[in-house]
């Protein structure tokens, strides 16, 4: 089976093919990913769901170039990540990928404005001023630009992180439990923001979550269990997702 | 009891888990203690070695007969003694209980080595004397060859021969200072060593020694006496005392050896060890800051852990104790290791010194109890003392802190601190200025200087914010976001930045203090030469301290006869008691002196001093309440007293000295004649180079002393200062090294603390080189802050030292800030900062992104 086939009709922002990730060796080895293949099409908001230990975070880390696969391939756009060294991977993350983590998303010494433009500043370029300006309005932080992260609420901090993730017009934004540390109202705000940005600006978002309410904001949910892709669900609702998740709890 | 055990268990497990954190502390204590212990052990070993050496060398001498009085001039520890008559030898030999007696004639004599350069002269004396034929009375033993028999034959101590590359059979020149052609017929040892430390010795026949080394034949420095079997040293001295004339005394051989050892101890060893101890003090002071900082950071990082312990029921005392137990463990291990290291240093030096031509007396290392316990105690006290405050803070951790997010430390720049600091600095400046300018007092100036140091330390956290902002200003523009992040990281915890920088600040302050003081000394010498030396060339022998033999007094006459020369004036040195106080005299031709030296305003006339006239500086005369026409009583080393009339008072004294008499006045009392300086001015129209060449040609016949133009002379006068500074810098490198270890340690801890932030930065696209640069720049900024503070403090202290020296001494002291050297110090400080950042930067860059962002 040869790679570099561009067969899909809808272009993919990121995908993994036959992804296997093994931690440790010998008896103590753990197979976190056991042959996962999944595409994340451009302009879609995809949620990855699964119980603890299902491999959803590992999948995200490998797809985003934060971790490497034991076998199989991961692509951002048409770039195969396995062939990149640390420097190229770093530059790829900086220029083509955005991140929103569960907590500790912001550099405490930088202001809100500086945090938003951090990847652009690291690249040494100015970025697209109008785009960033628009983003700031979308996330509603214009009056907080010169504040430090410690002066913001948790929800505000995550909104800054969202703005930072989209600031460089990345191919794909990976969000790892972005609402995990927030109360439900702030969480709702952040999720709405992610969904709006995808729909209004044709961006791609991949979000890892264990919260059915959060997953309901996505266009599609992929379910992972024991390192395998077990199901996909289009146009999810919180109830449908919850029902599907309950099925995991019953030993199959 | 059980509670304490829990503290100990916690400390042990914490130490084991965080070995790396304490590596810096360990090294700081280790280096300080090793240096201190090394100094003490080396001092004891040297002292014991010299004891043995003198004991061996003079074991055959049971009594020494010498003149009872010595004239001591200010600044000299050993006085000049009147010679004794060699005729006394026969009197002594007839005394009961005497087996043998021999005169010991001693003077200055410097050998010229095979390559034409004189041997020694840079500190220790260069001696010549008669070769005492009775081997038991002679402190030197013949090791090779034979004793001198004819005029012109000499025995040289082996160390000197080796340094001058001279062998038995070689013919060379001995400057007494008149050049004497000598042939080496034997090599000698002193007390089993190749020489008495760096002292050079040339033994000649008694006739030669009398001819070249004494002013009049029949004089000797002392007479060595050996007792007949059955007579004790004390009995011998008692017998001798009855036969000796007035003014002549006898002491036992043991007393004489002890005096010699004391002399070496006080002149050389004490100075040497004190000097080294001061530097280990500086190193340990710097270490205090580094250690304190490490513990403060560790405690801060462990806030949650400690809070959890408190929440689970640990008492304040237990939490404090567990930190202190940790500190004790580090202190004891590092101090013990440092002690071993110090003994190693001393052993290494013992092996190294002979290799560089400094005979280290043989014998085992002397390990005294004090030299063992003191460094240990100092190490433990310094380490524990530095950890005390952080440990107390650990104990005060509120149990609730476990639940709070670890806050960024913004303390430090408090108003109270700023007010205290400014108050302190105002007080420091006030006290110093009044100590320097108003009521010159070293005590006040010293207090002020100490206050200034304290003020700098207190103000550090306040100043660090502003300083880092200013110093790091250009970084944002030059290095973009990497530089900006570095600057802000340095600003994160003003207290920590300041404490880290303080260590370097103290090191740099001491370096700049010495740099400024050295430059000021040089400027002073330069000013002295340019102000008072009006001649064209100066002839002198490069020497330092007690070494060298000076210039032949006949050289002045020979140079004067040159057609190019207008005036050649030699300056000799004499010693006398003026109205009961030992004083150095300048023996010269006063008329020529006035022509070649600018003596300032002269009252009276230098022309008619004659044999009973004296000229004195205005300042000295004021002090002694003398004026022209007054009488002064001068007692010379030959015991005779004459009344002199003050004929002239002059203004400047730097090169000419405070008291001037004529050669004719000195002649009856003279000892071994030598000029210290020959100043030559040329006739109008004579080119300096031509004149210098002519003088050099003549000088070559008088032992080849150095002929220098005015500028060269001024520069070479300052040469000793550079040598001194080099040594000081080498010693201070240790303190700076400890300070840099402190910076590296703080950064490593900071990197550890910021793991998640660094992971985030890497995740969103900071490259490894960018991350390394960020950590390095932070290090550079902290170092730059410490360096700038150190330069300011050091320059200020240098000024205080110069000004208070100026007030305390007679000669005017110039103050100079050497911009180039200080710039070099600044560059070295900043570069060192970059070096200190290397390892933490590498560690930070190695960080696994995934683990960093996953860290709880």
Counting one residue from A and one from B, how many pairs have CB atoms under 8 Å apart? Answer: 70
Whether residue A164 and residue B481 make contact (CB cut-off 8 A), yes or no, is no
Q: Environment class of residue A94 by beta-carbon count within 10 Å: exposed (0-12), middle (13-18) or buried (19+)?
A: buried
CATH class of B553-701: mainly beta
Q: Can you give the pLDDT at residue B156?
A: 92
Domains of chain A: 41-65+94-249 (3.40.50.300)
Q: How far is B486 from chain A (nearest CA, A)?
A: 10
**What is this model's ipTM?**
0.86
Residue range B342-368, pLDDT digits in tens? 998 888 887 777 666 565 666 677 888
- A246 to A226, B194, B417: CA distances (angstroms): 15, 96, 61
| Contact assessment for residue A48 and residue A207, using Cβ atoms and an 8 Å cutoff | yes
The whole-angstrom separation of Cα A126 and Cα B433 is 54
CA B108-B109-B111 angle, to 5 degrees, is 155
Q: Can you give the pLDDT at residue B5?
A: 67
List the single best residue of B476, B483, B763 to mutate versus A (max A Cβ within 10 A): B763
Q: Which residues in chain A have their CB less than 8 angstroms from residue B762's CB?
A: 90
Query: Where do the DSSP E strands lie in B191-317?
Result: 200-204, 219-220, 222-227, 248-252
Mean pLDDT value across chain B:
82
Whether residue A119 and residue B480 make contact (CB cut-off 8 A), yes or no, is no
Q: Can you give the pLDDT at residue B361?
A: 64
Whether residue A105 and residue B760 make contact (CB cut-off 8 A), yes or no, is yes
* Average pLDDT rounded to a whole number, residues A214-223: 90
* Average pLDDT rounded to a whole number, residues B698-709: 81
CB atoms within 10 A of CB B770: 21
More confident residue, B285 or B439: B285
**Out of B485, B491, B765, whose CB is closest to A123?**
B765
The whole-angstrom separation of Cα B703 and Cα B823 is 42
Q: Can you give the pLDDT at residue B6?
A: 65
List the single best residue of B764, B778, B848, B855 to mutate versus A (max A Cβ within 10 A): B764
Q: Can you give the pLDDT at residue B618?
A: 86
Helices (H), B404-536: 415-433, 442-491, 494-532
Q: Which residues in chain A have their CB less than 8 angstroms from residue B760's CB?
A: 101, 104-107
Whether residue A66 and residue B853 make contact (CB cut-off 8 A), yes or no, is yes
pLDDT value at A76 more than 60: yes
The whole-angstrom separation of Cα B188 and Cα B186 is 7
pLDDT value at B736 more than 60: yes
pLDDT value at B337 more than 90: yes
Spell out the residues 6+ positions from residue A192 whose beta carbon is closer than 8 angstroms to its own: A217
Q: Can you give the pLDDT at residue B7?
A: 66
Residue of B nearest to A125 (CA): B480
Residue range B459-510, pLDDT digits in tens? 888 888 788 888 877 777 677 778 888 888 888 878 888 888 888 888 898 8
pLDDT value at B187 more than 90: yes
- pLDDT range class, residue B791, cuts 50, 70, 90: very high
| Contact assessment for residue A5 and residue A78, using Cβ atoms and an 8 Å cutoff | no
pLDDT value at B4 more than 70: no
Q: Which residues in chain A have their CB less than 8 angstroms from residue B767's CB?
A: 87, 90-91, 94, 122
Q: Which residues in chain A have their CB less than 8 angstroms from residue B850's CB?
A: 61, 66-67
Whether residue B408 and residue A150 make contact (CB cut-off 8 A), yes or no, is yes
Q: Can you give the pLDDT at residue A5?
A: 46
Q: Where in chain B is the domain with CATH 2.40.40.20?
A: 553-701
* Average pLDDT rounded to a whole number, residues B236-247: 86
Residue range B212-223, pLDDT digits in tens? 888 777 888 889
Residue range B418-433, pLDDT digits in tens? 888 888 888 888 888 7
β-strand pairing of B122-123 with B98-104: unpaired
- pLDDT range class, residue A3, cuts 50, 70, 90: very low
List the single best residue of A85, A109, A149 to mutate versus B (max B Cβ within 10 A): A109
pLDDT value at B546 more than 60: no
Whether residue A66 and residue B850 make contact (CB cut-off 8 A), yes or no, is yes
* Average pLDDT rounded to a whole number, residues B562-587: 85
Q: Which residues in chain A have their CB less than 8 angstroms from residue B406's CB?
A: none
- pLDDT range class, residue B74, cuts 50, 70, 90: low
Q: In what order do the strands lie in the sheet with A12-23?
A: A30-41, A12-23, A71-76, A79-80
pLDDT value at B413 more than 80: no
Q: Can you give the pLDDT at residue B336?
A: 93
- pLDDT range class, residue A4, cuts 50, 70, 90: very low
Q: Which of A30-34, A159-163, B286-290, B412-416 has the lowest mean pLDDT?
A: B412-416
Residue range B29-50, pLDDT digits in tens? 888 899 889 888 888 888 888 7
Residue range A58-75, pLDDT digits in tens? 898 899 888 888 989 999
Query: Where do the DSSP E strands lie in B292-423?
Result: none
Shortest CA distance to B28 belongs to which of B729, B505, B731, B737? Answer: B737
């Amino acid at each position: 089976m040869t790679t570099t086939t561009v067969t899909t009709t809808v272009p993919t922002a990121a995908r993994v093919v036959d992804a296997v990730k093994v931690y440790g060796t010998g008896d103590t080895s753990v197979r976190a990913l056991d042959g996962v293949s999944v595409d994340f099409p451009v302009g879609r908001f995809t949620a990855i769901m699964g119980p603890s230990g299902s491999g959803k975070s590992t999948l995200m880390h490998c797809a985003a170039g934060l971790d490497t696969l034991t076998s199989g391939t991961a692509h951002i756009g048409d770039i195969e990540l396995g062939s990149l060294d640390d420097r190229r991977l770093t530059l790829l993350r900086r220029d083509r990928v955005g991140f929103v983590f569960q907590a500790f998303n912001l550099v405490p010494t930088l202001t809100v404005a500086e945090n938003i433009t951090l990847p652009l500043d690291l690249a040494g370029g100015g970025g697209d001023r109008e785009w960033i300006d628009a983003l700031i309005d979308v996330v509603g932080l214009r009056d907080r630009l010169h504040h430090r992260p410690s002066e913001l609420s948790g929800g505000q901090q995550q909104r800054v992180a969202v703005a930072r993730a989209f600031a460089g017009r990345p191919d794909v934004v990976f969000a790892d439990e972005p609402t995990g540390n927030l109360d439900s109202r702030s969480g709702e705000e952040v999720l709405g923001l992610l969904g709006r940005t995808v729909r209004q600006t044709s961006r791609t978002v991949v979000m890892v979550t264990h919260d059915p309410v959060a997953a309901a904001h996505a266009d599609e949910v992929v379910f992972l269990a024991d390192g395998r892709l077990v199901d996909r669900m289009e146009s999810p609702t919180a109830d449908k997702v919850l029902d599907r998740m309950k099925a995991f709890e019953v030993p199959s | 009891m059980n509670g304490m055990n829990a503290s100990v268990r916690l400390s042990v497990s914490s130490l084991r888990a965080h070995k790396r954190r304490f590596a810096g502390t360990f090294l700081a204590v280790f280096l300080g203690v090793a240096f201190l212990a090394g100094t003490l052990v080396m001092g004891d070993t040297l002292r014991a070695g010299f004891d043995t050496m003198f004991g061996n060398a003079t074991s055959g001498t049971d009594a020494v007969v010498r003149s009872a009085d010595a004239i001591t001039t200010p600044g000299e520890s050993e006085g000049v003694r009147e010679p004794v008559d060699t005729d006394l030898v026969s009197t002594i030999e007839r005394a009961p209980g005497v087996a043998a007696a021999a005169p010991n004639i001693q003077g200055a004599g410097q050998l010229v080595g095979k390559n034409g350069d004189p041997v020694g002269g840079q500190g220790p004396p260069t001696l010549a004397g008669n070769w005492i034929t009775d081997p038991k009375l002679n402190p030197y033993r013949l090791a090779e060859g034979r004793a001198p028999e004819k005029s012109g034959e000499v025995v040289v101590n082996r160390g000197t021969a080796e340094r001058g590359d001279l062998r038995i059979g070689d013919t060379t020149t001995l400057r007494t200072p008149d050049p004497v052609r000598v042939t080496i017929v034997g090599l000698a040892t002193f007390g089993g060593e190749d020489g008495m430390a760096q002292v050079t010795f040339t033994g000649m026949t008694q006739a030669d020694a009398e001819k070249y080394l004494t002013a009049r034949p029949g004089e000797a420095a002392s007479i060595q006496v050996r007792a007949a079997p059955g007579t004790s040293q004390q009995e011998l001295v008692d017998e001798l005392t009855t036969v000796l004339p007035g003014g002549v005394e006898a002491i036992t051989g043991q007393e004489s050896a002890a005096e010699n050892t004391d002399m070496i101890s006080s002149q050389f060893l004490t100075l040497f060890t004190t000097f080294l101890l001061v530097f280990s003090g500086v190193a340990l002071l710097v270490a205090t800051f580094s250690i304190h900082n490490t513990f403060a950071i560790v405690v801060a990082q462990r806030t949650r852990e400690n809070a959890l312990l408190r929440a689970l029921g640990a008492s304040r005392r237990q939490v404090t104790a567990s930190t202190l137990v940790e500190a004790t463990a580090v202190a004891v291990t590092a101090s013990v290791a440092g002690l071993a290291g110090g003994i190693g240093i001393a052993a290494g030096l013992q092996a190294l010194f002979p290799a560089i031509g400094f005979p280290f007396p043989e014998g085992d290392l002397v390990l005294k109890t004090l030299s063992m316990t003191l460094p240990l105690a100092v190490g433990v006290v310094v380490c524990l003392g530095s950890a005390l405050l952080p440990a107390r803070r650990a104990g005060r951790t509120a149990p609730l802190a476990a639940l709070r997010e670890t806050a960024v430390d913004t303390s430090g720049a408090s108003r109270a601190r700023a007010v205290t600091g400014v108050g302190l600095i105002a007080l420091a400046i006030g006290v110093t200025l009044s100590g320097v300018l108003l009521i010159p007092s070293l005590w006040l100036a010293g207090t002020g200087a100490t206050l200034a140091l304290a003020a700098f330390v207190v103000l550090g956290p306040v100043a660090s914010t502003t300083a880092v902002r200013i110093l790091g200003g250009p970084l944002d523009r030059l290095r973009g976001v990497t530089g900006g992040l570095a600057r802000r990281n340095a600003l994160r915890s003003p207290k920590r930045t300041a404490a880290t920088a303080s260590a370097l600040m103290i090191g740099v302050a001491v370096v700049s203090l010495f740099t400024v003081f050295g430059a000021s000394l040089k400027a002073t010498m330069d000013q002295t030469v340019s102000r008072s030396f009006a001649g064209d060339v100066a002839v002198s022998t490069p020497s330092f301290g007690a070494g060298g033999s000076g210039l032949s007094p006949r050289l002045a006459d020979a140079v004067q006869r040159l057609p190019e020369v207008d005036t050649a004036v030699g300056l000799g040195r004499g010693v006398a008691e003026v109205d009961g106080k030992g004083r150095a005299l300048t023996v010269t031709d006063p008329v020529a002196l006035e022509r070649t030296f600018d003596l300032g305003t002269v009252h009276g006339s230098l022309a008619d001093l004659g044999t009973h006239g004296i000229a004195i500086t205005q300042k000295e005369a004021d002090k002694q309440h003398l004026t022209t026409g007054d009488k002064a009583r001068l007692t010379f080393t030959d015991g005779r007293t004459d009344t002199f009339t003050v004929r002239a008072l002059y203004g400047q004294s730097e090169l000419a000295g405070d008291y001037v008499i004529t050669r004719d006045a000195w002649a009856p009392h003279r000892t071994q004649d030598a000029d210290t300086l020959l100043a030559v001015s040329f006739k109008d129209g004579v080119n300096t180079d031509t004149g210098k060449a002519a003088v050099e040609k003549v000088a070559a016949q008088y032992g080849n002393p150095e002929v220098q133009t005015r500028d060269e002379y001024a520069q070479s006068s300052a040469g000793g200062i550079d040598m001194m500074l080099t040594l000081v810098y080498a010693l201070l490198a240790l303190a700076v090294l400890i300070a840099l270890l402190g910076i590296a340690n703080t950064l490593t801890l900071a990197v550890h603390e910021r793991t998640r932030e660094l992971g985030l930065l890497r995740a969103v696209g900071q490259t490894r080189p960018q991350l390394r640069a960020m950590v390095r720049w932070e290090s550079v900024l902290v170092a730059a802050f410490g360096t700038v503070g150190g330069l300011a403090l050091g320059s200020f202290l240098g000024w205080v030292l110069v000004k208070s020296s100026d007030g305390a001494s007679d000669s005017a002291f110039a103050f100079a800030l050497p911009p180039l050297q200080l710039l070099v110090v600044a560059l070295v400080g900043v570069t060192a900062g970059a070096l200190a950042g290397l390892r933490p930067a590498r560690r930070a860059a190695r960080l696994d992104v995934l683990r960093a962002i996953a860290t709880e």
